[in-house]
Amino acid sequence: MVAAQNPGTKKKDIDEWLDIFLDGITTACVVDDGVRFMGFGTFVVKEYDAKMARNPKTMEDAIIPQHREVRFRVGEKLKVAIN
């Protein structure tokens, strides 16, 4: 879609740029615990402690190890734009 709106732009160039952009976000989340784009939103890394859980089907106990997850919080300008 972007290539169609910008006739001088090649799909290959867009793909390369997007890969670099996403690698940057990934690296920032791993190293800095998040990335913020003013008005668009924030990628936040949340840490969870290990905990006990139970499989409801078999009733077996299981340990869920400590882990980190990435969450996205939508920014105000994006909220307004989509509503």
Find out whether 70 and 45 touch, Cβ atoms under 8 Å: yes
pTM over 0.85? The answer is no
Find out whether 25 and 35 touch, Cβ atoms under 8 Å: yes
- CA–CA dist 21, 14 (Å, integer): 10
Confidence (pLDDT) at 62: 94
Give the domain CATH number at 21. Answer: 4.10.520.10
Confidence (pLDDT) at 8: 79
Q: Which of these, 39, 17, 32, lies nearest to 70 by C-alpha position?
A: 32
Mean pLDDT by 10 residues, the chain (83 residues): 72 92 93 90 94 95 95 94 92
Find the domain containing 74 and state its range. 2-82
**What is the count of structural domains for the chain?**
1
Q: 22 in the Ramachandran plot: left (φ > 0), alpha (ψ -120 to 50) or beta?
A: alpha
